[in-house]
Structure formats: C-alpha cells, structure tokens
C-alpha cells in the first residue's frame, strides 16, 4: 500500500508509483494509434464510412459512468470492510493482552505473558499469509515454540489452529487456578471475536464480485472506447486521438482501480498493508506486556511503500 504525504496539485499530475497508469498505459497507447488510423482513413472501415457522431456516445457515456460508479463502490466496500476487520483485530489483540496481564494478578511472570503475546502475534501473521497465499513458516517459527510450530506448519488453516493454541493456553491458566471460570469466559469471548474476524476475512477472500458482472462491464468499456474515435473524427479531426485517450484513461483507470481494490489483501500498491499492521499489532502488545520494542527485531518497518 502506498503511504505518502499529501502532495501539491501540480505534483499529483505526475505521480507514477501507486497510480494505475503503468497498468493501463499499453491499452491507452493502442487506443491512441487506433484513433490515429481512424482519423487517417477519415472514419472509414473497409471503404465503408461508419455513420457515428458524438450524440450516442454522450448518452451512453453517462450510463457507463454510473455503472462504473456502482462497480467502484462495490469494490471499495470490500476494501473498507477488510480494513475494519483488521482494525478490529488490533482492538481484540490489545484486549486479550490487557486481560491476560491484569486478570492473572501477577501470578505469571513476564516471560510467560510474552509466550501468549507471541502466539497472538503468530495468529495475525498466519492470517496475513493465508489471505495472500504465501508461506508463513518464517514468521511463525520465530513466534511459536518448536512444538506448536511443528503442528502449525503442517496445518492447512493455520490461523484457526493457532487460535486453538490460545484457547489451550488460557485453559492451562484455569487448571492452575490462576484465573477462575468467569475470567476464562471473559477472555474466551475475545478469542471468539478473533474467530469472527478470521471468518470475515475468509469471506471476502473467497467470494469475489460475480465474474459475469465484471466481464460485462469490461467488454462494455472497451467496446465504447474502440468505437469512440469513429464518433469524434468528423468533429475533432486530428484532436481525436488525444481526446479519445483522455476519455479512455478515465474509464479504463476506473475499471482497473475497482479490479485492484476488489481483493484488498493482496500485494498490489493500493491493497491493505497487512505486514505493517501485523507488526504494529505485535509492537503494541509487546509494549503492553512490559517488553521494550526494538524496531530492529521486527520483520517489517514503516516505509514509503508498505506491504
């Protein structure tokens, strides 16, 4: 995810990184040269003059813009729901750390508390890797005991297994009479919230916007852009390639943005910064457990480009 300070209006015109322009530029170049060919041949196709003017494109362009707006709203809603789920993950992780630290009334030492914090952090990193389809071994090995890591490594749904570890760790406190049944139930409520967050993220990742809807909009955008030069050539002449490229940039870029943020858990420039959020959750929980945070020991750092 691109994190940068607010730029001036002039510098915003030339920003490359984080925009979808690199992704759509080859298509715009193709449309530009197609428009040049249409102007050169005066809007004829195989000796047939295509009888189009700007009127139908004006009406249809308005309708197409509405459909693109709905498409972008649907994609952004998925993006924002993913961000809210990870915000809830931060809150629940803090609540779990606070409960374990205070409800035990000093009957466990800091090292034992850090074991729980590391298991909690392992859940966050395992969730990140599951959503991105990447290997979680390196992150989990540094946070779990060898016994727990051996179990998690061979598990298909690692976050759910690690959540089980957390429940067993709390159950061990109950068996040692460090917490009572009421306190255990209160802590378990927050572990249940982790399950809700896990299920919500899995729902977004496994249920994309219906493919037929995306195909219909994609075809409509490109058919509109490829026919547009024929409707403008008589009135704009050699200005047609430039106007068509600008209009196409608006429509094609909107579609590309919607396609990018539809899957908010990926590694593209505008996806959620899951690694940084996982690290931040670990930092705040470590501080709550009384361990000073050394940024050099953490896997990720805040940078201009955050993953």
**Residue 259 and residue 75 in contact, taking contact as beta carbons nearer than 8 Å:** yes
**What is the C-alpha separation between 233 and 222, in angstroms, rounded?**
18
Q: What share of the chain is helix, strand, coil (3-state, %, to 5)?
A: 75, 0, 25
In the beta sheet, which residues pair with residue 49? 44
pLDDT at res. 305 = 37
**What is the C-alpha separation between 121 and 287, in angstroms, rounded?**
13
From 185, 243, 241, 283, select the one nearest 34 (Cα to Cα).
Answer: 241
Q: Give Cα 91 to chain centroid, integer Å.
A: 19
**Contact partners, residue 40, CB within 8 Å, separation at least 6:** none
DSSP calls for 63-124: HHHHHHHHHHHHHHHHHHHHHHHHHHHHHHHHHHHHHHHHHTTT-S-HHHHHHHHHHHHHHH
pLDDT at res. 180 = 93
State the pairing for strand pair 48-49/44-45: antiparallel
3-state secondary structure of 49: strand
**In Å, how far are 27, 43, 100, 251, 253 from 61, measured between CA atoms?**
19, 20, 58, 9, 15
- What is the C-alpha radius of gyration for the chain, rounded to an integer number of angstroms? 26
User: pLDDT digits over 142-176, tens only?
Assistant: 999 999 999 999 999 999 999 999 999 999 999 99
User: pLDDT digits over 265-300, tens only?
Assistant: 998 888 899 999 999 999 999 999 888 776 554 444
User: pLDDT digits over 65-80, tens only?
Assistant: 888 888 899 999 999 9
Above pLDDT 90, what percent of the chain? 64
For the chain, the average pLDDT equals: 89
Enter the tokens of residue 257: 């943005």
pLDDT at res. 120 = 96
Enter the tokens of residue 48: 């047939």
- Asked whether the predicted pLDDT for residue 306 surpasses 70, the reply is no
**Contact partners, residue 302, CB within 8 Å, separation at least 6:** 3, 276
**What is the C-alpha separation between 246 and 28, in angstroms, rounded?**
9
- Asked whether the predicted pLDDT for residue 3 surpasses 70, the reply is no
pTM of the model: 0.86
pLDDT at res. 307 = 58
């Amino acid at each position: 995810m691109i994190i940068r300070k607010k730029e001036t209006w002039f510098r915003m015109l030339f920003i490359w990184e984080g925009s979808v322009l690199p992704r759509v530029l080859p298509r715009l170049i193709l449309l530009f040269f197609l428009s040049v060919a249409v102007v050169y041949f005066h809007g004829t196709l195989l000796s047939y003059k295509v009888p189009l003017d700007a009127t139908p494109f004006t009406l249809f362009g308005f309708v197409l813009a509405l459909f693109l707006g709905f498409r972008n709203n649907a994609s952004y809603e998925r993006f924002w729901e993913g961000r809210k789920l990870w915000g809830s993950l931060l809150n629940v992780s803090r609540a779990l750390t606070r409960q374990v630290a205070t409800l035990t009334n000093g009957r466990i030492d800091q090292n034992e508390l850090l074991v729980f914090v590391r298991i909690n952090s392992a859940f966050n990193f395992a969730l990140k890797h599951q959503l991105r389809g990447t290997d979680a071994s390196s992150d989990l090995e540094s946070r779990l005991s060898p016994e727990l890591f051996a179990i998690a490594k061979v598990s298909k749904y690692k976050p759910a297994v690690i959540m089980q570890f957390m429940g067993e760790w709390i159950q061990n406190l109950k068996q040692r009479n460090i917490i009572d049944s009421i306190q255990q139930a209160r802590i378990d409520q927050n572990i249940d919230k982790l399950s809700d967050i896990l299920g919500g993220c899995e729902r977004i990742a496994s249920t994309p916007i219906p493919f037929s809807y995306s195909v219909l909009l994609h075809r409509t955008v490109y058919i509109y852009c490829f026919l547009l030069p024929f409707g403008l050539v008589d009135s704009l002449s050699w200005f047609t390639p430039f106007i068509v490229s600008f209009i196409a940039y608006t429509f094609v870029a909107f579609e590309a943005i919607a396609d990018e943020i539809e899957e908010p858990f990926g590694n593209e420039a505008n996806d959620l910064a899951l690694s940084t959020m996982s690290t931040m959750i670990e930092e705040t929980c470590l501080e709550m457990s009384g361990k000073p945070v050394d940024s050099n020991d953490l896997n990720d750092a805040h940078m201009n480009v955050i993953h």
